[in-house]
């Protein structure tokens, strides 16, 4: 075929294909993506923090730009999964400065999802090329806290055509209601009651810390010194977790990851730092907080790995307590 005829044919095909794309935009299929990050079963999108907001169209560059994707909450080091089946390509670099989170991958849909195309950034994929299936392990979340201390760690999720991926992310079915509430954390506190306020401060999420210069990134579940501590959900243990780093009598703790959750329980001594544990199983014992902070309401510091608010997972007990008080 003469060169000019080939060019003309390509031009015609390109025009037809462009019209088809206009009629059927690539990201408008009515399907929903799989869970992207372990510990975030509903693909919850980051809210706002001191670095900005995570929703589509949020301000960027001091209001001179707009967010072209969404930020799906994901704890540093968490497992990342493919939202749909497709072909991988990459690496995808957004920062171009070699920082600790400047990595990512693109997935272009195949099979039942031919028109999906998305970039997932701030993750390290297991590979940059080849086929991957929906729900298959894609990689791990990179250490965002190292680059942006205090940010809500997240995966930047951006459609290749810069359209809004939110509808594809937010219809993932959440866990069954009975699985969203944690078990009793401390013996003697069957309702997971949260510490109120004492001379050392308050125990609710977001309470002032460091003379108002910081905020409480967890909640304090009341627990008497020496009491038995239980696993709030089933998962894998890791630790030790130290928050004081001064060797005091309560500087110990453990992390549990599993069942769609990831949490750190501090000021306890666990029976072990590794291995599997089941919901409601003995996890350890409360350490002697009165020895370190005389007169405080002794408590377990409970902090989600992504620093989101764990209150709703604990407050089934609060609900029961309020209803008992009402009946009485």
Q: CA-CA distance, 246 to 249, in Å (whole number)?
A: 9
44 part of a folded domain:
yes
Q: Which of 169, 192, 214 lies at the terminal end of a domain, its last residue?
A: 169
Whole-number pLDDT of residue 49: 85
| Average pLDDT across the chain, whole number | 84
7 part of a folded domain:
no
2 part of a folded domain:
no
129 part of a folded domain:
yes
128 part of a folded domain:
yes
Q: Mark whether 89 and 182 lie in a shared domain.
A: no
Higher pLDDT, 101 or 326: 101
Q: Mark whether 182 and 164 lie in a shared domain.
A: no
Q: Mark whether 259 and 300 lie in a shared domain.
A: yes
284 part of a folded domain:
yes
Q: Helix (H, G, I), strand (E, B), or coil: what is residue 320?
A: helix
Q: Mark whether 204 and 320 lie in a shared domain.
A: yes
- Statement: residue 124 has pLDDT above 90: yes
- Statement: residue 14 has pLDDT above 50: no
Q: Which of 153, 169, 185 lies at the terminal end of a domain, its last residue?
A: 169
Whole-number pLDDT of residue 179: 52
Neighbours of 61 (CB within 10 A): 8
- Candidates 164, 152, 161, 150; CA nearest to 122 is 152
- Statement: residue 5 has pLDDT above 80: no
Q: Each residue of 187-236: pLDDT tens digit? A: 999 999 999 999 999 999 999 998 888 899 999 999 999 999 999 999 99
Q: Mark whether 208 and 146 lie in a shared domain.
A: no
3 part of a folded domain:
no
Among 171-180, 191-200, 248-257, 270-279, which is the least confidently predicted range? 171-180
Whole-number pLDDT of residue 62: 80
Range of the domain at 263: 177-327
12 part of a folded domain:
no
Q: Mark whether 187 and 320 lie in a shared domain.
A: yes
Higher pLDDT, 22 or 154: 154
Q: Mark whether 111 and 49 lie in a shared domain.
A: yes
Range 121-146 average pLDDT: 95
Query: How far is CA 79 from its chain centroid?
Result: 10
State the pTM of this model: 0.47
Q: CA-CA distance, 301 to 291, in Å (whole number)?
A: 16
Confidence of residue 171 (pLDDT cuts 50, 70, 90): low
214: domain CATH number is 2.70.70.10
Confidence of residue 178 (pLDDT cuts 50, 70, 90): very low
Q: Mark whether 114 and 215 lie in a shared domain.
A: no
Q: Which of 152, 169, 186 lies at the terminal end of a domain, its last residue?
A: 169
Q: Each residue of 72-99: pLDDT tens digit? A: 999 999 999 999 999 999 999 989 898 9
Q: Mark whether 182 and 109 lie in a shared domain.
A: no
- Statement: residue 113 has pLDDT above 80: no
Question: Structurally, how many domains does the chain consist of?
Answer: 2
307: its two tokens: 């620093």
In the chain, where does DSSP find H-type helix?
3-23, 144-147, 166-169, 289-292, 311-314, 316-327
Q: Mark whether 61 and 135 lie in a shared domain.
A: yes
The proportion of the chain whose per-residue pLDDT surpasses 70, expressed as a percent, equals 82
Q: Mark whether 193 and 315 lie in a shared domain.
A: yes
Whole-number pLDDT of residue 28: 40
Range 305-320 average pLDDT: 74
Neighbours of 169 (CB within 10 A): 22
Q: Mark whether 120 and 206 lie in a shared domain.
A: no
């Amino acid at each position: 075929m003469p060169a000019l005829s080939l060019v003309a044919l390509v031009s015609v095909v390109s025009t037809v294909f462009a019209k088809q794309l206009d009629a059927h935009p690539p990201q408008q299929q009515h399907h929903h993506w799989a869970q992207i990050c372990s510990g975030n079963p509903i693909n919850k999108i980051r809210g706002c923090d001191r670095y900005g907001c995570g929703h589509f169209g949020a301000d960027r560059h001091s209001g001179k730009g707009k967010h072209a994707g969404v930020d799906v909450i994901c704890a540093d080091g968490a497992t990342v999964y493919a939202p749909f089946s497709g072909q991988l390509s990459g690496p995808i670099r957004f920062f171009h400065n070699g920082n600790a989170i400047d990595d990512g991958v693109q997935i272009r849909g195949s099979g039942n999802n031919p028109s999906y195309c998305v970039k997932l950034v701030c993750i390290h994929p297991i590979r940059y090329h080849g086929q991957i299936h929906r729900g298959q392990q894609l990689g791990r979340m990179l250490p965002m806290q190292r680059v942006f201390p205090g940010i809500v760690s997240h995966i930047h999720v951006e459609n290749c055509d810069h359209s809004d991926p939110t509808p594809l992310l937010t219809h993932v079915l959440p866990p069954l209601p009975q699985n969203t509430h944690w078990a009793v954390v401390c013996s003697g506190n069957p309702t997971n009651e949260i510490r109120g306020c004492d001379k050392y401060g308050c125990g609710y999420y977001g309470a002032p810390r460091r003379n108002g210069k910081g905020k409480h990134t967890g909640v304090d579940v009341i627990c008497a010194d020496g009491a038995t501590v239980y696993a709030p959900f089933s998962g894998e243990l890791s630790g030790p977790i130290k928050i004081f780093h001064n060797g005091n009598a309560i500087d110990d703790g453990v992390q549990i990851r599993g069942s769609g959750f990831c949490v750190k329980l501090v000021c306890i001594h666990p029976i072990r730092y590794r291995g599997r544990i089941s919901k409601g199983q003995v996890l350890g014992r409360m350490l002697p907080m009165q020895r370190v902070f005389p007169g405080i309401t002794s408590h377990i510091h409970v902090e989600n790995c992504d620093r989101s608010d764990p209150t709703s997972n604990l407050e089934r007990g609060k609900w029961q307590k309020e209803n008992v008080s009402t009946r009485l």
